[in-house]
Amino acid sequence: MNDRLRIGKSQTDQLERENARLADQLKEVVKMNGHWQRYDAQREEYVLKLTRTNQELQDEIDELRGRLDAKSGGKSEMPAKKTADRACETSGDAEEPQLQKDSEVVAALTDQVTKLRGRIAELEEKGNRGKRDEDDQIALLREQVHVCVEDFKQEREDREKVHGDNLKLMKRLALAEEQVS
């Protein structure tokens, strides 16, 4: 009878240790779940920020294109400059001051158009670079979410297994206690 009692006590101690270990695992899983939820919220905020920044850059590009079209009248600056230069070459002395002013205005507008086109190209490159970076970041985040989802599936399976093991151990404990009595 004493041997049975010792065996029952040993099994009870073992089951209690197993329960404590499983409880610790459950706490760790809950803690990791909290971390993942905070991470997911931060990731979502970051993606929204990148999307807003991308939209702002696109709006700025559109605005600069509109200004460029307004300044150039929807035409390329090169034909306007050539026309003004030809007009200066063929004009008489009486029209020369007016044509000189027009030529200076055309040259100034041409310079502005060139600067605006450079700025548009710069902003487009920045937007494209930002878009590529954003796409890379989104792909990385999606992969991380996939890993987390798979991890949570595994954790759920582990919790279900642990719960089943606990039930089995509790039944064995009850049976052992019944046998000891």
For the ranges 24-38, 86-100, 148-162, which has the lowest average pLDDT?
Answer: 86-100
Distance, in Å, from the CA atom of 3 to the CA atom of 5, rounded to the nearest integer, reads: 5
Provide the pLDDT for residue 81.
44
C-beta pairs of 115-119 under 8 Å, 24+ apart in sequence: 116/64, 116/67, 116/68, 116/71, 117/68, 119/64
Distance, in Å, from the CA atom of 6 to the CA atom of 4, rounded to the nearest integer, reads: 5
Q: Considering the chain, what is the average pLDDT of its residues?
A: 76
**Comparison of pLDDT for 29 and 70, the residue scoring more:** 29
Given the candidates 1.10.287, 1.20.140, 3.90.1520, 3.30.365, the CATH classification of the domain at 2-180 is 1.10.287
155, HSE (Cβ side, Cα atoms, 13 Å): 15
- Tell me which range, 51-60, 114-123, 168-177, is most confidently predicted by mean pLDDT: 168-177
Q: Does the pLDDT at position 80 exceed 50?
A: no
pLDDT in tens, 40-68: 788 788 777 877 877 777 777 777 777 77
| Spans of all domains in the chain | 2-180
For the ranges 122-126, 149-153, 168-172, which has the lowest average pLDDT?
Answer: 122-126
Tell me the pLDDT band of 17, cut-offs 50, 70 and 90: very high
Q: Does the pLDDT at position 166 exceed 80?
A: yes
What is the three-class DSSP state of 133? helix
- Tokens in use for 118? 């450079």
